[in-house]
A and B are shown apart, each in its own frame.
Chain A
Amino acid sequence: MNHDYQRDISGCGLTGVISKKKRMIGGDVIVRSLCLMNDRGNGLGAGFAAYGIYPEFRDFYALHIMYDDESSQRTCEEYIRNEYHVEKAEDIPTRPVKTIAISPRVVRYFVKPLRERMEGGIGEDDFVVRTVMRINSEIEGAYIFSSGKNMGAFKGVGTPSEIAEFFRIEEYEGYIWTGHTRFPTNTPGWWGGAHPFTLLDWSIVHNGEISSYGINKRYLEMYGYKLTLLTDTEVAAYLLDLLIRRHGLDIPTACTVLASPFWKDVDYMDEEEKEAITLLRLTYGSALLNGPFAILFGHSKGLVGLNDRIKLRPLVAATKDDMVFIASEEAAIREICKEPDRVWAPRAGEPVIVALED
């Protein structure tokens, strides 16, 4: 276990929108909402995640990979072709942006694991997670920043408008969008460090500093996660993966673990609930996210917003017809939805859970 790492911390603004009826929302909408919160970032990182953008490849894992150079691309592609059937590989469409001087190569692959490589009854999802961990920690200069189906993340070093322009975000249409602008407080410069952070179809954007990072990291390492990014967001993403996908908790219960109710409240719950919450706390105490945070996590079935247990970061939610908006500031919502039906500030530790309609 490596302890001699330099952690990457930052402040942020975030926004998200979902259409429960899966109506397509253009990328320009999320860009407008995010750009309103320019002062919450410092131009050193921005990104977007979108769901429903690759309907023609909905059955393939969409790997978005950034490369530092040609040799890392060669090594990585050799590895992928060895393990996966590659339906399609192409450069992610970008356009030159004057203010972005240096950018990595960004390539996407629509893939399926090769049956014969999946030894020991490993599931497809676990196989892909293993690939992500291996490439990100072992292939120098290659970094998978998106690995879900029918979804994708786009991120880099720049302001929200620069990154949106670079990745031609306005050309995509999806039914869930999240966006993030970043205010890193230490040496910036790496595109992989921007949000969203993703694993399979999970995507996380996050504002805050996880004061419990050290133990969250060590807890995740017990389960084989390799924390290569050294950001708080990475911890949140892997914890959700562990709790929901691997341990089978439902989303509200996973939120209870990440932002546990206080003992003073648990003590007055009825017996059955108290027993369950206590057992969760005892079992997952090391997964408690302590410290200020507001996170949005998107997944193939919906969008969730969550605050820390004493609400040390802002989070506002609003609804309009089948649309739900969650953002750091109400203004970012009103920018794209002039007259919401309802606007509220979710209470500390109480998740806003939005599910797509079947």
Chain B
Amino acid sequence: MFKSLAPPEYLATIDTDKCIRCKRCIQNCGWSVYSWGGDRVLIDTAKCVKCLRCYHYCPVEAIQILDNPVRFRQNAYWSYHHIRNIKRQAETGGIPLTGMGSDQPYPVLFDHLLLDACQVTNPSIDPLREPMELRTYLGKKPSRVEIERGDDGKIRTTTEMPPQIKLEAPFMFSPMSFGSISLNAQKVLAMAAKECGIVMNTGEGGLHEDLLPYRDHIIVQVASGRFGVNPDYLNAGVAVEIKIGQGAKPGIGGHLPGEKIPLEVAKARMIPVGTDALSPAPQHDIYSIEDLRQLIYAIKEATNYKPVSVKIATVHNVAAIASGIVRAGADMVYLDGFRGGTGAAPTIIRDHLGIPIEHAVAAVDDRLRQEGIRNEASIIAAGGIRSSADVAKIIALGADAVAIGTAALITMGCTVCGKCYTGNCSWGITTQRPELTVRLDPEVYAERLINLIHAWSHELKEILGALGLNAIESLRGNRERLRGVGLDTQTLDILGVKPAGR
């Protein structure tokens, strides 16, 4: 057999003295790293992705997954990954794929921003004693309100409320399609969204009928492949999202291989079983901003004017693009930063295209304010939100809410191994293999995801309390409460943030 010149990344090892030969590792590994050799477990370590499923299910701690100490000679310029990719490309002639968001060491602005807190001159607020409001409404807002006062002294309004999505906390789940993730994983998202009073997003994969009970907590997506799109689908959720691009692969379409298209996925997407599901790079009816406007209004007409979101990858000119999207009639602009996750993307694209979400939100919020149209649409920030601190910081920069994808998957067992595109996910998340998906019990894992949202909500309330605020809208766009550490003047200027010490 041909042995790749690219050495394996990980060494899966079993301590044979400890091993009790229970074969759970063989059963659990989706990548067939382990097989039975008659008296012991055999290991094909080249297949290992370090997802740690085997380690977790080994009852005697016999398994260790090590980073392979065999590396190419160290070189500050020709990194291990450069050499490895060249060798792999020389062997295959192909484009190396990857899953999840970029893991490259670009500067992370979140880690250069610090939040304020109250001392003496203004009191901090204890969220355990005082009300603390995270409720968030997404959608177009009027710029002013006409109020009448009745004889009873109570007020009423003659201004019509544009359609809104009500979130109990400023979170939503990122679009992840049935096909890229399993139906059980989607059920986890839907159940948690319902329980937490937030929303999930179908991604471009149609809507499985099992999710219909959660329709008040679902945004349906229309993307370039138009998979699963029909009038019932458009009207099934609380809003419709037009996907133009994705942070992990701006300018690139999607490719769900036929192996991930069994009957149920095929039905939801309205395509034949086993065919590749190709989403073209552009939407073939959108070649410019006026075309987008037509699609937005076609969808509004078809849905009796539900809110429409437009999702874009954050590219260099994101502020002008977002402004155009708002003027084209979108109720929400979903910004997906370059750290955003994916089920499958060419590594070269993922790691080298786009800009970080922090810059993008700051630039878009500024631009919409300069043009006086900030109230016309909500800004949803996504692409690498790792903690409630990231949430607070991006909201302070100007976002209305965040969408989380990777963090939600981590609650289901994901270890961000980045091999989603293989369809072998041992945790049952990014796979359609029934023996793997059955592992992901929606009820059990929904509980964990609910816990995460509750935990982040509590943390956000603590942060607000420390800031002396009791409503999330007082943090939104309040860059005065952020300071930069170790950022250059121009970056501070783009973020609209003062350096620490000022």
Q: Is the CB of B141 within 8 A of A283?
A: yes
Q: Is the CB of A290 within 8 A of B144?
A: no
Residues of chain B contacted by A249 (CB below 8 angstroms) = 145, 147
Q: A4-B498, A209-B122, A262-B133 are in contact. Are A292 and B156 (CB under 8 A)?
A: no
A7 beta carbon closer than 8 Å to chain B: yes
Q: Is the CB of B370 within 8 A of A292?
A: no
Q: How far is the CA of A263 from the CA of B470 in the complex (A)?
A: 11
Residue on B with the closest CB to A7?
B480
Q: Is the CB of B497 within 8 A of A276?
A: no
Q: Is the CB of B141 within 8 A of A291?
A: no
Q: How many residues of A contact B (CB 8 A)?
A: 53
Q: A273-B154, A278-B161 are in contact. Are A215 and B478 (CB under 8 A)?
A: yes
Query: Contact flags (1/0) for B458-502 with A, using CB distance below 8 Å?
Result: 000000000111110111111111000000000011001110001
Q: How far is the CA of A3 from the CA of B490 in the complex (A)?
A: 12
Residues of chain A contacted by B272 (CB below 8 angstroms) = none
Q: How far is the CA of A1 from the CA of B372 in the complex (A)?
A: 13
B149 beta carbon closer than 8 Å to chain A: yes
Q: Is the CB of A218 within 8 A of B143?
A: no
Specify which of A218, A264, A276 is in contact with B155 (CB 8 Å cutoff). Answer: A276
Residue on B with the closest CB to A11?
B121
B274 beta carbon closer than 8 Å to chain A: no
Q: How far is the CA of A237 from the CA of B123 in the complex (A)?
A: 23
Q: How far is the CA of A209 from the CA of B259 in the complex (A)?
A: 60
Residues of chain B contacted by A285 (CB below 8 angstroms) = 471, 473, 476
Residues of chain A contacted by B60 (CB below 8 angstroms) = none
Q: How far is the CA of A213 from the CA of B131 in the complex (A)?
A: 20
Specify which of A247, A270, A278, A282 is in contact with B154 (CB 8 Å cutoff). Answer: A270
A277 beta carbon closer than 8 Å to chain B: yes
Residue on A with the closest CB to B116?
A211
A221 beta carbon closer than 8 Å to chain B: yes
Residue on B with the closest CB to A310?
B130
Q: A222-B374, A310-B125 are in contact. Are A211 and B473 (CB under 8 A)?
A: no
Give chain A interface residues in 218-254, CB to chain B under 8 Å: 218-219, 221-222, 247-250, 252-253
Q: How far is the CA of A286 from the CA of B131 in the complex (A)?
A: 19
Q: Is the CB of A212 within 8 A of B121?
A: no
A4 to chain B: closest CB distance in Å?
6
Q: How far is the CA of A263 from the CA of B471 in the complex (A)?
A: 10
A56 beta carbon closer than 8 Å to chain B: no
A92 beta carbon closer than 8 Å to chain B: no
Residue on A with the closest CB to B157?
A276
A96 beta carbon closer than 8 Å to chain B: no
Q: How far is the CA of A317 from the CA of B478 in the complex (A)?
A: 33
Query: Contact flags (1/0) for A276-301 with B, using CB distance below 8 Å?
Result: 11111111111010111000000000
Give chain B interface residues in 310-326, CB to chain A under 8 Å: none
Residue on A with the closest CB to B125?
A310
B364 to chain A: closest CB distance in Å?
14
Q: How far is the CA of A291 from the CA of B123 in the complex (A)?
A: 8
A70 to chain B: closest CB distance in Å?
34
Q: A212-B469, A292-B468 are in contact. Are A276 and B156 (CB under 8 A)?
A: yes
Q: Is the CB of B496 within 8 A of A263?
A: no
Residue on B with the closest CB to A281?
B473
Q: Is the CB of B471 within 8 A of A292?
A: no
Residues of chain B contacted by A219 (CB below 8 angstroms) = 477
Specify which of A248, A272, A282, A286 is in contact with B476 (CB 8 Å cutoff). Answer: A286
Q: Is the CB of B474 within 8 A of A9?
A: no
Give chain A interface residues in 121-179, CB to chain B under 8 Å: none
A275 beta carbon closer than 8 Å to chain B: yes
Q: Is the CB of B121 within 8 A of A250?
A: no
Specify which of B123, B145, B470, B480 is in contact with A217 (CB 8 Å cutoff). Answer: B480
Give chain B interface residues in 106-141, CB to chain A under 8 Å: 118, 121-123, 125, 130-131, 133, 135, 137, 141
Q: Is the CB of A291 within 8 A of B469?
A: yes
Q: How far is the CA of A7 from the CA of B479 in the complex (A)?
A: 13
Q: How far is the CA of A217 from the CA of B479 in the complex (A)?
A: 10
Q: How far is the CA of A250 from the CA of B474 in the complex (A)?
A: 23
B269 to chain A: closest CB distance in Å?
36
Q: A263-B133, A264-B131 are in contact. Are A286 and B154 (CB under 8 A)?
A: no
A40 beta carbon closer than 8 Å to chain B: no
User: Which among B122, B133, B469, B475 has the highest number of chain A CB atoms within 10 Å?
Assistant: B122
Q: Is the CB of A214 within 8 A of B473?
A: no
Residues of chain B contacted by A270 (CB below 8 angstroms) = 154
Residue on B with the closest CB to A277?
B155
Residues of chain A contacted by B468 (CB below 8 angstroms) = 209, 211, 290-292
Q: A1-B366, A222-B374, A263-B133 are in contact. Are A211 and B474 (CB under 8 A)?
A: yes
Q: How far is the CA of A208 from the CA of B121 in the complex (A)?
A: 8
Query: Contact flags (1/0) for B152-163 with A, using CB distance below 8 Å?
Result: 001111010100
Q: Is the CB of A273 within 8 A of B156?
A: yes
Residues of chain B contacted by A4 (CB below 8 angstroms) = 492-493, 498, 502
Question: What are 21 contact pairs spanning A and B, CB under 8 A?
Answer: A1-B369, A3-B493, A4-B493, A7-B480, A212-B474, A215-B474, A215-B477, A250-B149, A252-B149, A273-B155, A276-B145, A276-B155, A279-B159, A285-B471, A286-B476, A288-B471, A290-B474, A291-B474, A292-B468, A310-B130, A310-B131
**What are the nearest 3 A-B pairs in CB distance?**
A214-B480, A285-B473, A290-B474
Apart from A272-B154, A288-B473, what 19 extra A-B contacts exist at CB < 8 Å? A1-B370, A11-B121, A208-B122, A211-B468, A213-B478, A214-B479, A218-B369, A272-B156, A278-B161, A279-B145, A279-B157, A281-B473, A283-B144, A284-B145, A286-B476, A288-B471, A309-B470, A310-B125, A310-B470
